[in-house]
Structure 1
Amino acid sequence: LADQPLMQSVVADLALESEAATALALRLAGAVDRGETELLRLALPASKYLVCKRTPTVVAEAMECLGGNGYVEESGLPRLYREAPLNSIWEGSGNVTALDVLRAVTKEPDSVEAVLQEIDAAAGVDSWFDRARTELRTELRSREQRTARRLAELLALCLQGSLLLRHAPEEVSTAFVSSRFLPDGPWRTAGTLPAAAHTEALLGRVSPRR
């Protein structure tokens, strides 16, 4: 199945999601080690919101890739699928986490500056990413509770985009930015990468045998 173009697009998309989440987690872990409390105060809840919301979808797609073999208990994926929603239930639901983001934006301006500095480190590298940066600043000014989830998601996506643009190979960063920062929003299903995405290169990063 991994040799079929459509399946390759799905797996490559899942690989992008995994790499972006991993890069973000490692950056935040480094911030803990270095005591970057201002960055963590805002980046941590935003990152938790996005990654926890994406996890069940990623696991479900992985199960579907394996078909019946992914559905049976012996594969281990059903356990992961059952446990995935717990990430956004224990230690704060999606709404609680999004409100924590809004609280940090409202009461701790130093955290906003720290996050924007981190994101702006990749300014000028990609036009789609720069548009998202501009949109994020607009969302940060609104500070409305009803849009707290949108703010948390966009903030975390911008952090991921900045990290990948600076530290990942070009085929990874361009595929991520072009698929996650669409004009009509990031709502999409796995495997809908732009035609120009280098799926073979993305697959090679997660499939050494290829």
Structure 2
Amino acid sequence: MEKFIRLTGVAAPLYRPNIDTDAIIPSREMKRVSKEGLGEGLFADWRYSDVAARVPNPDFILNRPPFEKAPILIGGANFGCGSSREHAVWALKDYGVRCVIAPSFGAIFQGNCVRNGILPLVLPEERVAALANAADPRPVTVDLEALSLTMPSGEVLTFAIPPADRQMLLEGLDPIGVTLKRLPAILTFEAEHLRRHSWI
């Protein structure tokens, strides 16, 4: 998994509360055997005026320059609520989103983000609202090492993230990767356990 250390890019404002996983990727868009291509179905009901023909909706933020390929998304409170489908995170990542800024997240979605290399960045509601309402085409910089967000104006905000989540993102590890880091200790334990309980 790609490491997340520092990210600079435009932040696309999609500032609506309670954007659920069904809106992020409708169930009909999940009929694939691979994660690749799921980005095409991202926000399909909002992004296309004709979903079947894939006709872009010119009013949707991700269809308007300079936000078409924004690596950062600004969402409203409770972003990613609803069903636990991991496809929502896979679709965001396949589209190119590496960070979502919101006042709060659905708990399962938030965990899925970290496990797939996307930073769920929590800021106070008023800060998120100001960033979204500005709809600034200039880039922002997210620095996970410094736990800072540099605004287009140059103002620097700080944010917090659980240390274990931060480490997973910085090292580009999923849960299996975290386990494999402990492989020597696991093998040592297994060998000692077998020695002490040879009848098992």
Bucket of the pairwise TM-score, normalised by the shorter protein? under 0.3
Could you state the TM-score of these two structures normalised by the residue count of structure 1? 0.26
More helix by share: 1
Larger Rg: 2
More strand by share: 2
